[in-house]
Structure 1
Amino acid sequence: MAHYRVSESKREQFRRYLEKAGVLESLTNVLVALYEETEKPNNALDFIKHQLGVGPEAEDAESLRLELNTLQQKYDQLMEENKELRISDTSSHQKSLSLFL
């Protein structure tokens, strides 16, 4: 019986901790939002993650997408420039060799 009380006491402490930290309120709000969805999502866990804000914020994700796009364009431009310089270097090298022959 004493073991039951200790266990119950620990549970109560943990429940108070969750309540104080705002976890219970957040989870309750998310579950209520899921309950009130007229069309239930196929993946409830993804819905919960989205509602809790797990992962990058929408603005951060959009900013990262734009940065990725800009960097991809810069990369493509540099690769093309590198290719042109290699071709130019090869033809210059061949011309200098022909001068010696």
Structure 2
Amino acid sequence: MAHYRAADSKREQFRRYLDKSGVIDSLTNVLVTLYEETDKPNNALDFVKLHLGAGGPGPADAEALRLELAELQQKCDMLVEENKGLRNKLLQYEPMPEEGAEE
């Protein structure tokens, strides 16, 4: 009988842990949302993942995004340098108007 109470105690502790960390509320909200859907999705598990935020990019997607970000940052830096060079060339042929001069 003491073993039975220990298992109940562990379950109750785990339930309190889930409740305190907000897991029960989050799951309840997602399940209520699914229940209230008029057109039920074909894959309920994907629906739950999507609404819990677990449907985000995986590690492979994140790595691909990091690589793309690095490439775009490099391209941006290159374009900034090109822009500076073109501005300098433009200033050689079109001097800046003097202050106070009327156009």
- Interval of TM-score (by shorter of Structure 1 and Structure 2): 0.5 to 0.7
Q: State the one-letter code of the partner of 2:5.
A: R
Instruction: After superposition, give the CA deviation of every residue in 1:73-96 in whole Å (9 maximum; x if it has no partner).
Output: x9xxxxxxxxxxxxxxxxxxxxxx
Aligned to 1:42: 42
Q: How many residues matched?
A: 64
Q: Which has the larger share of helix?
A: 1
Instruction: After superposition, give the CA deviation of every residue in 1:17-59 in whole Å (9 maximum; x if it has no partner).
Output: 00000000000000000000001000000000000011337xx
Q: State the one-letter code of the partner of 1:47.
A: F
Instruction: Give the match's secondary structure for 1:56.
Output: coil
Aligned to 1:97: none
Task: Work out the CA distance in 1 between the residues paired with 2:35 and 2:10.
Answer: 30
Task: Work out the CA distance in 1 between the residues paired with 2:3 and 2:30.
Answer: 34
Aligned to 1:21: 21
Task: Work out the CA distance in 2 between the residues paired with 1:5 and 1:56.
Answer: 40
Instruction: Give the match's secondary structure for 2:26.
Output: helix
Aligned to 2:91: none
Q: Does the 8 Å contact 2:18/2:24 carry over to 1?
A: yes
Which ranges of 4 or more aligned residues in structure 1 deviate by more than 6 Å? none
Alignment RMSD, CA only? 2.5
Aligned to 1:4: 4
Gaps of 5+ in 1: 75-101
Gaps of 5+ in 2: 76-103
